Amino acid sequence: MIGRMWRGEAIGAANADAYARHLSETVVPELRHLTGFRGAHLLREQADDRIEIRVLTLWDSRAAIEAFAGQDISVAVVEPEARAVLAAFDDFATHYEVTSFPSDEG
């Protein structure tokens, strides 16, 4: 499995919340239609009025990511709705091999 990580920054909770809504109501539902998409996580860290946003999507393979991002998977996909509420964002995504460890919980 491959983790695709991307970073953005919002100023103010209202903009961060608007991005979260866009991700959950528009982006993730579209990704669910792609073969090989395994899920998404939104991470937020607030420092004063600036909120760092990291999005981690999980994929079966590079080919699955290409179906979403195109042949150069390092290029970020940032839709106009996201650009409208973010103060800054990376124009690239990074990719990691995912290693999972079983939980101690039953």
DSSP string, the chain: -EEEEEEEEEESHHHHHHHHHHIIIIIHHHHTTSTTEEEEEEEEEEETTEEEEEEEEEES-HHHHHHHH-S-TTB----HHHHHH-SEE-SB-EEEE------S--
* Fold entry, domain 2-97: Alpha-Beta Plaits (3.30.70)
Domain ranges within the chain, ordered by starting residue: 2-97
Q: Read off the pLDDT of each residue in 97-102 and give the average, rounded to a whole number.
A: 88
pLDDT for the residue 105? 67
* pTM of the shown model: 0.89
pLDDT in tens, 53-99: 999 999 999 999 999 999 999 999 999 999 999 999 999 999 999 99
Round the average pLDDT of the chain to a whole number and report it.
95
More confident residue, 106 or 101: 101
100 vs 50, which has greater pLDDT?
A: 50
